[in-house]
Amino acid sequence: MTDVQVDLADMQALSRHNKGNKYILLGVDVLSKRLFGVPVKSKSSKDMLEAFKQLIGQMPMKPHRIFFDKGLEFKNKTVKDILTQEEIQKLEATHSTVKAAVAERAIRNVKQRLYRYFAQNKSLNWVDILEKI
């Protein structure tokens, strides 16, 4: 695994059904298109640090590079420190029009599958089934 794109999926509308988790931190291996996801309660540096540790822990190999869009949740010192500690190069979009396109598409696919699951099972809980999707 070499390159990973990371983005946050906004699931705030369903947070009361999901133990207060408002976001999904999604990482996509650009080459294999393999997905990794972690529920996140907020965009605070503490929550993002814990989520990044879990996300990197899910991956079979440590990525060489991680690409982010211009989200402020990725610009805090704790995230930079964990990436430096893990020897992962951080790449960031320089313009607001540049996005982590592979991750954005993965978010769309995950949300599609989640909403299909919600309709079939009459449940709005995504935290417990995130790994299966």
What would the CATH number be for the domain defined by 3-121? 3.30.420.10
Q: What is the 3-state secondary structure (H, E, C) of 91-108?
A: EECCCCCCCCHHHHHHHH
The pTM for the full model equals 0.90
Task: Tell me the pLDDT tens digit for each residue of 115-129.
Answer: 999 999 999 999 999
- Give the chain's mean pLDDT: 90
As given in the structure block, the two tokens for residue 93 are 């979009």
* 41-60: average pLDDT: 93
Residue-level pLDDT at 92: 84
pLDDT band at 64 (very low <50, low <70, confident <90, very high): very high
Residue-level pLDDT at 96: 64
Task: Tell me the pLDDT tens digit for each residue of 79-115.
Answer: 888 889 989 999 887 766 667 789 999 999 999 999 9
Domain boundaries, the chain: 3-121
What residue ranges in the chain does DSSP mark as E strands?
Answer: 3-10, 23-29, 35-40, 65-68, 89-92
pLDDT band at 28 (very low <50, low <70, confident <90, very high): very high
Residue-level pLDDT at 1: 54
3-class SS of residue 86: coil
Residue-level pLDDT at 39: 97
Identity of the residue numbered 85: Q
